[in-house]
A and B are shown apart, each in its own frame.
Chain A
Amino acid sequence: MKLDDILVSLQQVDEVTWKIPRQGDMRVDGVFFASPPLLKLIREDQSLLQVANVATLPGIQKYSLAMPDIHWGYGFPIGGVAAFDVDNGVVSPGGVGYDINCGVRLLASNLEKGDVVPRMRDLVAGLFQNVPSGVGSRRKDLRLQRRDEVKVLEEGARWAVKQGYGEEEDLAAIESGGALPGADPAAVSDKALERGRSQVGTLGSGNHFIEIGYVDEVFDEETAAALGLFPGQVTVSVHTGSRGLGYQVCAESIGKLKRATIRYGFELPDPQLCCVPVKSPEGQEYLGAMAGAANFAFANRQLITHWVRESFAQVLRVPPRTHALRLIYDVAHNIAKIERHVIDGQEKTVCVHRKGATRSFPAGHPDLSPAYRVIGQPVLIPGDMGTASYVMLGTTTAMEKTFGSSCHGAGRVLSRKKAVQAAKGRSIQRELENRGVFVMAASRGTLAEEMPDAYKDVSQVVDTVHAAGISRKVARLRPLGVVKG
């Protein structure tokens, strides 16, 4: 298949929905969501070819999907969603990505914008000091033994809460309760354990961040109130994942599964799409290792949350109950999950791959914890560090159209190389300060690569998924202070 043929064949389904009709070796159509300006950007890279490539994989159900923040990845596109029959479909480590369970969580405080703006430099500096970020960062007081790390892989965020990092009630506000079932530490190599051991509780670098913001606009007052969000309220977002442990699990799994793919006789358009039957020994081994890495990431965000709460208490000199910083929700962006979905009128068990996409389950879904079964699942969409982030809510339309999935962010528009070139001679830190955002970064290079110009307009992405009905807008957050790795 060629990108040019795909671009010529595109069919518009409705205002924001586009179809890539089956062609070549595609087993199903491709479907993606884009407003006219986003479509223009999407057409400029290889991502739609990647949507078509994913559609060739065995056992794919309904469509190969892409969200409006789609961009060119490796193998699967970033912003891709694909579900495979657990009985005759596949699991693909490349469909999850290297940063397994990279995700974001949102905390909301009792504080109002005016309480923190005068202290923003101190707050950001406090976070920068207390949460290790950047290359090779370590938290010296948290050195795990191997047996502790195995517990982290098994128990995820619950391990952290048991150690005193956070509250029991935090767990009910995390996707899958902060621990995927079926984690198999024995499937995680010694090298992956070694790579992760000193990195638990660290933010990392690249697009990872901690952001202090405030609720700038509420679109759905009833839902916002149910979630405990109000205009002017101070929030904190934490975006990170499974660090080196996840990268190592993915890299080793791709090496192994690439050879297994050949044994199973699958012919693939791109070696990075290597995959094996979900129920094969290799598939189960990968899913066990992936769940362990996902749980490492849940624990990581839980530890960081604890230090965020401590930092606020230290800097503002108030007891933690004053700032409160309650966990609103925690979602995974890179993950494969076994879920039940209705396909052709029948409920089926499928392995849903979300690579740069967010689960978007509606109220009433049995996988949600009781409080969120009433409200619906918050879908957290971080934007670039100078603009805005959104709180959205899962919908029944997402269950019908996208295997309960929505977008995950703004999506890159400039390559890292071009972003660095565009930042030459500019102080990104000062530019952001002029926009009212105080930033501290471990590396100047990261700041350039991650500058606002490098990303699509998150509002357009969010308006598109809202129009498609696959999640709906609840509130917009504006940044005030950011720690970048």
Chain B
Amino acid sequence: MKPYEQVEHTADLALRVTGAGPAELLDHAVRGLCSLITDPRAWREEDARDVDVQGGGLEDLLVEVLNEMLFLLDARQFLALRLEVLQLDHDRLRGRFHGQAFAPDPARIRHVVKAATYHGLAVRHGDEGWSTVIVFDT
């Protein structure tokens, strides 16, 4: 299974994300969102930002960490390329975004993403691992 791929949604963008476990699912979601925003191959891991989010389960942590990534991009010009998960509990995620200072250049932007939503969000896991579909507001 692909770590992430874009799926159809009329008004917005949606990603199907998979992972061997919850931590990998979160990392793949961060990588997937990055690929919606820009071509990840054009950027390097030069810098890092700590992230600490809370929520009532994996779905909440997923949306919160992606929205934190969008905050860092929009307010502090930092593009996260991947997420290193340091601690993952039912209601808290501590981790580190690895990425690069982001000089906003429209020529290198694929999509402008406003937020990750909870629309229809449910993380599933079975023999083949963990998966979910996340809808983004654009």
A270, B8: Cβ atoms closer than 8 Å: no
| Residue of A74, A94, A244, A446 with most partner-chain B CB within 10 A | A74
CA distance A449 to B60 in the complex (A): 29
Binary interface encoding of chain A residues 222-261 relative to chain B, with 1 for a CB under 8 A from any of its CBs, else 0: 0000000000000000000000100110110011001100
In the complex where A195-B75, A255-B60, A445-B109 touch, is A412 in contact with B104 (Cβ < 8 A)?
no
Is A11 an interface position by the 8 A CB rule? no
A251, B115: Cβ atoms closer than 8 Å: yes
Residues in B neighbouring A195, C-beta threshold 8 A: 71, 74-75
Q: Which of B67, B106, B118, B138 contacts A271 (CB 8 A)?
A: B118
Question: A74 — nearest CB in chain B belongs to which residue?
Answer: B119
Residues in B neighbouring A416, C-beta threshold 8 A: 12-13, 111, 138
Q: How far is the CB of B72 from chain A (nearest CB, A)?
A: 10
CA distance A137 to B103 in the complex (A): 10
In the complex where A191-B75, A258-B60 touch, is A445 in contact with B111 (Cβ < 8 A)?
yes
A135, B109: Cβ atoms closer than 8 Å: yes
Question: B7 — nearest CB in chain A belongs to which residue?
Answer: A417
Q: How many residues of A contact B (CB 8 A)?
A: 49
A413, B138: Cβ atoms closer than 8 Å: no
Q: How many residues of B contact A (CB 8 A)?
A: 40
Question: A252 — nearest CB in chain B belongs to which residue?
Answer: B67
Interface residues of B in 85-127 (CB under 8 A from A): 102-107, 109-112, 114-121
Q: How far is the CB of B114 from chain A (nearest CB, A)?
A: 5
Residues in A neighbouring B70, C-beta threshold 8 A: 247, 251
B74, A412: Cβ atoms closer than 8 Å: no
Residues in A neighbouring B106, C-beta threshold 8 A: 134-135, 205, 442-443, 446
Is A262 an interface position by the 8 A CB rule? yes
A270, B120: Cβ atoms closer than 8 Å: yes
Residues in B neighbouring A443, C-beta threshold 8 A: 106-107, 109
Is A32 an interface position by the 8 A CB rule? no
In the complex where A205-B112, A262-B56, A272-B118 touch, is A244 in contact with B12 (Cβ < 8 A)?
no
Question: A193 — nearest CB in chain B belongs to which residue?
Answer: B75
Question: B74 — nearest CB in chain A belongs to which residue?
Answer: A244
Question: A247 — nearest CB in chain B belongs to which residue?
Answer: B114
B67, A251: Cβ atoms closer than 8 Å: yes
Q: Which of B8, B71, B104, B117 contacts A74 (CB 8 A)?
A: B117
Is A136 an interface position by the 8 A CB rule? yes
Q: Which of B6, B10, B115 contacts A247 (CB 8 A)?
A: B115
Is A329 an interface position by the 8 A CB rule? no
Residues in A neighbouring B110, C-beta threshold 8 A: 445
In the complex where A74-B117, A195-B75, A248-B71 touch, is A255 in contact with B112 (Cβ < 8 A)?
no
In the complex where A98-B137, A255-B60 touch, is A194 in contact with B75 (Cβ < 8 A)?
yes
CA distance A254 to B66 in the complex (A): 14
Q: How far is the CB of B56 from chain A (nearest CB, A)?
A: 6
Residues in B neighbouring A254, C-beta threshold 8 A: 117-118
Residues in B neighbouring A414, C-beta threshold 8 A: 10
| Residue of A99, A250, A255, A270 with most partner-chain B CB within 10 A | A255
Q: How far is the CB of B81 from chain A (nearest CB, A)?
A: 17
CA distance A432 to B134 in the complex (A): 34
Q: How far is the CB of B50 from chain A (nearest CB, A)?
A: 15
Is A337 an interface position by the 8 A CB rule? no
Residues in B neighbouring A418, C-beta threshold 8 A: 8
CA distance A415 to B9 in the complex (A): 6
B10, A412: Cβ atoms closer than 8 Å: yes
Is B25 an interface position by the 8 A CB rule? no
Is A78 an interface position by the 8 A CB rule? yes
CA distance A418 to B64 in the complex (A): 28
Is A45 an interface position by the 8 A CB rule? yes
In the complex where A135-B112, A206-B112 touch, is A191 in contact with B118 (Cβ < 8 A)?
no
| Residue of A135, A191, A194, A262 with most partner-chain B CB within 10 A | A135
Question: B54 — nearest CB in chain A belongs to which residue?
Answer: A255
A258, B114: Cβ atoms closer than 8 Å: no
Interface residues of B in 1-24 (CB under 8 A from A): 6, 8-13
In the complex where A270-B119, A271-B121 touch, is A71 in contact with B11 (Cβ < 8 A)?
yes
A71, B112: Cβ atoms closer than 8 Å: no
Q: How far is the CB of B55 from chain A (nearest CB, A)?
A: 7
Is A274 an interface position by the 8 A CB rule? yes
Q: How far is the CB of A330 from chain B (nearest CB, A)?
A: 21
CA distance A259 to B75 in the complex (A): 26
| Residue of A414, A418, A442, A444 with most partner-chain B CB within 10 A | A442
CA distance A109 to B110 in the complex (A): 36
Question: A73 — nearest CB in chain B belongs to which residue?
Answer: B11
Shortest 9 CB-CB contacts between residues of A and residues of B: A136-B104, A74-B119, A443-B106, A271-B118, A74-B117, A195-B75, A272-B119, A442-B106, A135-B104
A-binding residues in B (CB < 8 A): 6, 8-13, 55-56, 59-60, 63-64, 67, 70-71, 74-75, 77, 102-107, 109-112, 114-121, 135, 137-138
B-binding residues in A (CB < 8 A): 45, 71-75, 78, 94, 97-99, 134-137, 191, 194-195, 204-206, 244, 247-248, 250-251, 254-255, 258-259, 262, 270-272, 274, 412-418, 442-446, 449, 485
A-B contact pairs, 25 of them (CB 8 A): A72-B9, A72-B10, A74-B12, A94-B117, A99-B137, A135-B105, A135-B106, A191-B71, A194-B75, A205-B106, A206-B114, A206-B138, A244-B74, A244-B75, A247-B114, A251-B116, A259-B56, A270-B120, A272-B121, A274-B118, A415-B9, A415-B11, A416-B12, A445-B110, A446-B112
**Given A248-B71, A416-B111, A444-B107: 6 more A-B contacts, CB < 8 Å:** A71-B10, A244-B75, A254-B117, A255-B64, A413-B10, A417-B8
